[in-house]
């Protein structure tokens, strides 16, 4: 689909100068077109979710409070990138994205993270990797996973390496 086919006219960028005037167009005249075929565009969709969890963390700096059981409110966001499917016109069905995120959220929400199988250390990096690995089979076009602890201002982004 071209914008011009829908009766929308696109003027060249340099057609109007400060203090100048726009050119007069006759009916049906078009000065430019932009191809906006949806499946030739690259989109990034994201879905946010939240979970509450407790953990301990063995580290050298600020060790006392970290080693005791404590909890956080985590904010996470999963990004999916790609071109729309030619039939569905969707990069990903948001119902599928939400269903898979809910499945992973259930593994983390109101849990003691030290006991979550395959998580390892409950760091922001570990949570990003856990979320990615648990979603990537059903959602192979994940472009980024973000986990934040807003109360402390901490954030981690995982940008998966191309598997090409």
pLDDT tens-place string over residues 34-81: 455 555 789 999 999 999 999 988 766 666 666 778 889 999 999 999
CA 143 – CA 120 distance, rounded (Å): 23
How does 95-111 read in b/e, with b if 16+ C-beta sit within 10 Å?
eebeebbeebbebbeeb
**Tens-digit pLDDT profile for residues 4-25:** 444 444 444 444 434 445 455 5
pTM check: above 0.75? no
pLDDT averaged over every residue in the chain: 81
Q: Which of the pair, 31 or 72, is modelled with greater confidence?
A: 72
What confidence score (pLDDT) does residue 16 get? 41
β-bridge mates for residue 82, sequence order: 43
Q: Domain limits of the chain?
A: 1-36, 41-158
Q: Does domain 41-158 have CATH number 3.40.605.10?
A: no
pLDDT of 68: 76
Percentage of the chain with pLDDT > 90? 62
The arithmetic mean of pLDDT across residues 79-106, rounded, is: 95
pLDDT attached to residue 58 = 75
d(CA 139, CA 161): 15
In the chain the beta strands, taken as DSSP E runs, fall at 43-55, 70-82, 111-112, 142-149, 154-158
């Amino acid at each position: 689909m071209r914008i011009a086919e829908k009766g929308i006219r696109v003027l060249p960028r340099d057609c109007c100068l400060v203090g100048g005037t726009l050119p007069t167009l006759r009916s049906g005249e078009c000065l430019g077109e932009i191809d906006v075929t949806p499946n030739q565009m690259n989109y990034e969709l994201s879905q946010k979710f939240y979970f509450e969890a407790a953990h301990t963390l063995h580290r050298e700096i600020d060790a006392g409070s970290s080693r005791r059981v404590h909890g956080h409110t985590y904010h996470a966001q999963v990004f999916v990138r790609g071109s729309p499917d030619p039939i569905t016109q969707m990069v990903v069905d948001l119902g599928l994205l939400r269903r898979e995120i809910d499945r992973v959220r259930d593994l983390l929400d109101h849990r003691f993270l030290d006991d979550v199988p395959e998580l390892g250390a409950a760091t922001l990096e570990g949570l990003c990797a856990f979320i990615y690995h648990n979603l990537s089979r059903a959602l192979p076009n994940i472009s980024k996973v973000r986990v934040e602890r807003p109360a402390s201002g901490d954030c981690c982004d995982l940008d998966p390496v191309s598997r090409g």
